[in-house]
Amino acid sequence: MIYTIACAGTDGKEDGKEIIEKHICSCGGKILSTCVANILVVDADPKDVVEVVNSLKPYYPEQYFPWRVREGDYFSLVK
């Protein structure tokens, strides 16, 4: 399935985007777009997306939780 993921930096030492990219690719998923600084569009198994995003929860301020993952390519919706 295709997901749009908001992936801000984690604790200042690691890049959330890089962590998500590595995890999705290691599970056989594909990165479809990285054109916006803190947004990834991926084609991956839902459980892999949930797993990697949940692993970053401790580093995200609470207000970002509702938007961190959206089903579909968000950018195709705004075109």
Q: What is the pLDDT of residues 20-76, one digit of tens each?
A: 899 999 999 999 988 776 788 999 999 999 898 888 777 766 655 545 688 888 777
Q: What is the pTM of this model?
A: 0.76
Confidence class for position 3, pLDDT limits 50, 70, 90:
very high
Confidence class for position 10, pLDDT limits 50, 70, 90:
low
d(CA 60, CA 31) in angstroms, rounded, equals 22
pLDDT at 42: 93
Domain ranges, ordered by start, for the chain:
2-78
Can you tell me whether residue 41 is helix, strand or coil? Answer: strand
d(CA 48, CA 22) in angstroms, rounded, equals 11
The Cβ-side half-sphere exposure at 39, using a 13 Å CA radius, reads 12
